[in-house]
Chain A
């Protein structure tokens, strides 16, 4: 059986499962059956994709199904790029299924989740496999709608209906942009097969329009600022394992679409395009993490941090475009591999963190960080796994987040070779934005972890929390292990990614397998090298030798006592630092500009016994500046046009007549 048939068989299995789930969904065992089956199918698809990617020499395989447009059929194709993204999709799918085996039992309405979960997975697989514009768009819509249904699973909770509505509007807008992009790519001849589009030559004008449309279409699904508004609403609204899939995987499918069209179908990228992508990516990274800092809802914070990571990936892709446009193959391969590595890493740690948030939600019923605290004592295993995720996402060695960011920084350092002035000025500025985003991410996750898991419990829910089930823990620990493994053994990962770089760019990074001690060397050892394994071993050795010497030769005495309160120690847990107060310094530094943040203190007069109140005023300038005016304009014109509904037949006829005359006039002038 050829590789693509295996993948399609898994997809067919998932689709069949979705139908089965509708029938089964009221049954008691439905949760176990559906998640168990998705786990098996995702695992098979994952193994198939990994084998394909590691096989190295295998050629792309095609499959044409006699469905869809009669003269076109539906084309599916498995090549290196697709197989890498299938690894990401199915790894996320398998982990989410495993997590769902435990988490799904707490779902109040399983019949609203179970049919759509396999359908969503199938949709994401299909988008990656599609090899003609028609199938691509159809699968894209299928994926969007399935995820929309999952967002609306708990439709009675406050805010979820609005989240679903905004998501639907933005998804339709994105698909419209993609539709136009593919229309332009297919050209007047209208051949929608990817092979034909790839072979055709595209005018610079069309290529620019396609880039803009792809940034709108794929960018809105991935969460590029300012098209991100739906993301922090929709991702957290879904059940947590679906949030993990949407944040960790679906945004990557959008990035896949961007890579497929801009790097593959459109041919050689141009350097002005890369400037746009670089700036959008840099701004997205910093804005995303600043939004995340201001957030006190744990899942929304994670969703905003997804926006940051998407920005990092786009910066890296922009660098790859700039190098590729100037024929610097090695540097382009470095930037491109860094982008793919970060795609993989983000799918690991973001899924892990959403699982952790889901575990907290199951066990306390709270998503608001300011009502949690002290969970490290009551949920030790969850908090350990989440700690790994936080360290990894903060780009700290020896975990995986650091490796991909390190590679991106190395790519930035290659860019003085670029001849264009605009790029010479853009790249260092974007590098600074990236460094800022990385540092802010660490700050953000210190706050998120510290407020949620450390300190004293801020409420009964946090005080009575218990550890979650084994399936959820297993899913979290598998991902945590993967975060560490990808961090200490980055060489094999980079080598596994090289077929993708060869296929898309025609170049690759140096082979890492030959480096001694499993180091990674992006260009040459005299330039830079990094060895995560040794860093971890060194830290472990020096920490354990410090522990040994101290406990052997110095004191081992330990006494528990109350915390030092400077003479006022009976404070309530509410006096601890909360998410808002932790973010206060950063809010003062960045927020006044970015969010027009103001603190309003309502201090009672002396002798007055009402409590003082602090109110924080934050403005989402993207929403208020772009979306609110558009919504208002739509509402206004709808109100005005509403009057046209109540006309007499005479007026309707004259309207029809006037339209006809106008159209004829336009036609006459046009020709």
Chain B
């Protein structure tokens, strides 16, 4: 019975992230529109977009290779697996021990690796410019992310996300300077990784100003749907990660009753809504920065992560 309920919880979380991801993006878009006094599309518009893209034919560039056609699925799968390993409303996932936080970061790295290769596959300048800028951002965001992971792992004594969430949620951790630094750094990395303002603009359609969108410019139809879906999932993943580590209240522990699960799920959606609202507020209030100021932005995240980790290393001896 325990195994069955574990499988159910794991399966429910996997489906939940899949179902909620477009809704979150729709919600952020809607709030952004309302904040600038536009009506905005329905919050269910991303679902309609995905369905429309799925029904359309794929227009493939003449010299696109098999790699270009495989990439959308590989990317989507890697992000989905990563997202399924982040506790949303319940910790103690069945396959929690499959991959720890470092592996989740690396899985997202795999997704980006293939996407950046696909950007170069057709051989246009737009794909190239997108890919080269994406890997530049990644080359700074990934080490920053790893240092944040170090920071959290040193506090919790584990790199297993469920253990980290349980530790930070249950016992009295208190206000730690290094955790604060990690949170700020994590938010900065999350903005960069999800191609949000101020690093990249998800809404722009001027090719030269965009990074992520330029990289996937050649994609269409169901391929584009998979990539868009991957992007939605990634945003949800990062918000879930921040929420489960820094706001782990009422996440149902292993073997909790169905009431705890329901409370956890309800609160999780509420937390997502708050985070999405804050994201929309932030994006409306800031302007996109020049691409070569991004290294300074991410360098700051890297330094915050390093500083937080150093503080933990140093403070252990006391």
Contact = CB atoms under 8 A, between A and B. Distances in A.
Majority-rule SS of B interface residues: helix
Interface stretch (B28-36, B104-112, B236-244, B245-253): B104-112
A442 B154 contact: no
A438 B143 CA distance: 8
Contact of B76 (A456, A542, A584): A542
Contacts of B128: 450, 455, 576-577, 581-582
Interface in A508-538: 519, 525-531, 534-535, 538
Nearest to A423: B313
A542 B312 contact: no
B201 interface: no
Interface string B280-318: 000000000001100100000010011001101110110
A454 B62 contact: no
B94 to A, nearest CB: 11
Contact of B158 (A373, A424, A528): A528
Contact of A454 (B97, B117, B221, B295): B117
B78 interface: yes
A397 to B, nearest CB: 5
Nearest to A533: B98
B313 A530 contact: no
B138 interface: yes
Contacts of A472: none
Interface in B35-78: 54-63, 65-67, 73-74, 76-78
Given A582-B128, A585-B291, A554 B106 contact: no
Given A377-B63, A535-B107, A563 B132 contact: no
A447 B309 CA distance: 31
B135 A546 contact: no
A530 B100 contact: yes
B60 A558 contact: yes
A529 B159 CA distance: 8
Contacts of A543: 73-74, 76-77
Given A413-B150, A425-B313, A519-B97, A454 B60 contact: no
Contacts of A442: 109, 112-113, 135, 138-139, 142
Contact of B63 (A456, A538, A566): A456
Contact of B221 (A421, A555, A586): A555
A519 B291 CA distance: 41
B126 interface: yes
Nearest to A417: B316
Contacts of A394: 109, 113
A588 B292 CA distance: 8
Given A425-B314, A546-B73, A573-B123, A535 B146 contact: no
Contacts of A530: 98-100, 103
Contacts of B132: 447, 577, 581-585
B267 interface: no
A397 B106 contact: yes
Nearest to A584: B132
Contacts of B126: 564, 566
Interface string A107-141: 00000000000000000000000000000000000
A419 interface: yes
B77 A539 contact: yes
A142 interface: no
Nearest to A569: B124
A547 interface: yes
A277 B24 CA distance: 48
A475 interface: no
A449 interface: yes
Interface in B206-243: 207, 217-218, 221-222, 225-226
Contacts of A547: 73
Given A376-B65, A581-B132, A416 B313 contact: yes
Contact of A450 (B102, B117, B125): B117
A557 interface: yes
B184 interface: no
- Indicate the member of A416, A454, A531, A557 with the most B CB atoms within 10 Å: A454
B168 to A, nearest CB: 14
B113 A391 contact: yes
Interface bin, chain B: 35 or more
Given A561-B60, A561-B61, A431 B147 contact: yes
B219 to A, nearest CB: 10
Contact of B313 (A377, A424, A450, A531): A424
Contact of A424 (B138, B140, B317): B317
Given A526-B163, A531-B98, A546 B57 contact: no
A514 to B, nearest CB: 14
A396 interface: yes
A589 interface: yes
Interface residues of A, number: 86
Nearest to B97: A529
B113 A446 contact: yes
B180 interface: no
Contacts of B76: 542-543, 546
A387 interface: yes
A534 B316 CA distance: 35
B309 A428 contact: yes
Given A427-B313, A440-B139, A538-B81, A454 B147 contact: no
B81 A542 contact: yes
Given A397-B103, A542-B80, A435 B143 contact: yes
A534 B95 contact: yes
Given A395-B106, A424-B317, A564 B124 contact: yes
Given A424-B317, A443-B138, A535 B98 contact: yes
Contacts of B143: 432, 435-436, 438-439
B98 A454 contact: no
A31 B291 CA distance: 54
A570 to B, nearest CB: 12
Contacts of B317: 419, 421, 424
B121 interface: yes
A571 B55 CA distance: 32
Nearest to B310: A428
B150 A439 contact: no
Interface string B113-139: 100110111111111110111011011
Nearest to B137: A585
Interface string B240-272: 000000000000000000000000000000000
Contact of A559 (B58, B97, B98, B127): B58
B224 to A, nearest CB: 12
A439 B138 contact: yes
A586 B313 CA distance: 30
A402 interface: yes
Nearest to B208: A566
A438 B150 contact: no
A561 B312 CA distance: 56
A159 to B, nearest CB: 28
B186 to A, nearest CB: 15
Contacts of B119: 450
12 contacts: A396-B106, A402-B106, A413-B159, A424-B317, A428-B306, A431-B150, A439-B139, A443-B139, A447-B135, A450-B119, A519-B97, A527-B159
Given A446-B117, A455-B123, A577-B129, 17 more contacts: A395-B109, A397-B106, A413-B150, A415-B313, A416-B154, A424-B316, A428-B147, A428-B313, A439-B109, A525-B160, A529-B98, A561-B62, A575-B125, A576-B125, A581-B128, A585-B292, A586-B139
Q: Which 4 A-B pairs have the closest CB atoms?
A: A577-B128, A450-B120, A455-B123, A557-B57
Interface of A: 373-374, 376-377, 380, 387, 391, 394-397, 402, 406, 409-410, 412-413, 415-416, 419, 421, 424-425, 427-429, 431-432, 435-436, 438-440, 442-443, 446-447, 449-451, 454-456, 519, 525-531, 534-535, 538-540, 542-543, 546-547, 550, 554-555, 557-566, 571, 573, 575-577, 581-586, 588-589
